[in-house]
Amino acid sequence: MTTGLVLYGYWRSSAAYRVRIALNLKGLSYETRPVHLLRNGGEQHSPDYREINPQELIPCLLDGERVITQSMAIMEYLDETHPETPILPIDARGRARVRALAMTVACDMHPLGNLRVLNQLESQFSADEAQRGEWSRHWIATGFNALEAMLADNAATGRYCHGDTPSIADACLIPQLYNARRWKLPLGEYPTLQRIEQACNELEAFQLAVPEAQPDAPVSA
């Protein structure tokens, strides 16, 4: 068990949720440092945090003195520095498939629904809450339609996104499903995604990572 890992995150951040899953899958203990994304205009914009991550985004992992940003980079870093319980397949083709699934969420879906994007839609184009909801549901559905097709009836899909071992693809998918429910996107068209979610949620690593279980989650959450 490694000590000295610190995760800057926010209970409801799906990018931080991914990293929590990866840390838990690897059995790594870590200290949580909450960054409240809404309080005081967003603590991610504070000078202290900007010094750690000039992108003003969470998550951010400290490994001793080392600062690692970007959830995908963090998860791959954890896999390389703690190769036991791998979260990427050993073969190049499998790794490419898992990364493609993960990046569908992390690169093409999640950024479009991020807080700063939704804030910009409001401030620049006066998009109201209903319109921001429609926007978010549109992009989540677009990504989920592709993911359902990529996962259903594919011999490489197993109990989880890739075979019977959870990977960074599952670590990206499950938080995005959580996000989709927040936006009230109907999920009936995604039976494979829901089946994989059910399998993941049976694992302690995923259970411990849920937003409501985090120390900074409001008591009512």
Ligand X SMILES: N[C@@H](CCC(=O)N[C@@H](CS)C(=O)NCC(=O)O)C(=O)O
One-letter amino acid for residue 207 of the chain: Q
Region of 8-16, 125-133, 193-201, 211-219 interacting with ligand X (CB under 6 A): 8-16
* 182 binds ligand X per the rule CB under 6 A: no
Nearest to 165 by CA among 103, 77, 87, 95: 87
- Hunting for tokens 């990046």 — which residue is that? 103
Taking the least distance from each CB to ligand X, the nearer of 161 and 171 is 171
* 217 binds ligand X per the rule CB under 6 A: no
Which of 5, 7, 11, 15 touches ligand X (CB under 6 A)?
15
Three-class SS state of 14: helix
* 67 binds ligand X per the rule CB under 6 A: no
CB of 115 to ligand X, least distance (A): 3
Which of 7, 25, 37, 210 touches ligand X (CB under 6 A)?
37
Taking CB atoms within 8 Å and a gap of at least 24, the contacts of 45-50 are 49/8
Three-class SS state of 39: helix
* 211 binds ligand X per the rule CB under 6 A: no
Residues 16, 38: Cα–Cα separation, whole Å:
15
Pattern 98-127, ligand X, x by CB under 6 A: --------x-------xxx-----------
Nearest to 7 by CA among 68, 83, 51, 84: 68
Taking the least distance from each CB to ligand X, the nearer of 14 and 214 is 14
Taking the least distance from each CB to ligand X, the nearer of 70 and 157 is 70
Taking the least distance from each CB to ligand X, the nearer of 24 and 176 is 176
* 176 binds ligand X per the rule CB under 6 A: no
Q: At 47, list the tokens.
A: 């000078």
CB of 15 to ligand X, least distance (A): 4
Based on its alpha-carbon atoms, the radius of gyration of the chain, rounded to whole angstroms, reads: 17
Task: Look at phi and psi of residue 164 and say left if phi exceeds 0, alpha if psi is from -120 to 50, else beta.
Answer: alpha
Three-class SS state of 127: coil
Residues 68-87 that bind ligand X (CB under 6 A): 70-72
Residue 2: Cβ within 10 Å count: 15
* 214 binds ligand X per the rule CB under 6 A: no
* 209 binds ligand X per the rule CB under 6 A: no
* 193 binds ligand X per the rule CB under 6 A: no
Residues that bind ligand X (CB under 6 A): 13-15, 37, 42, 44, 57-59, 70-72, 106, 114-116
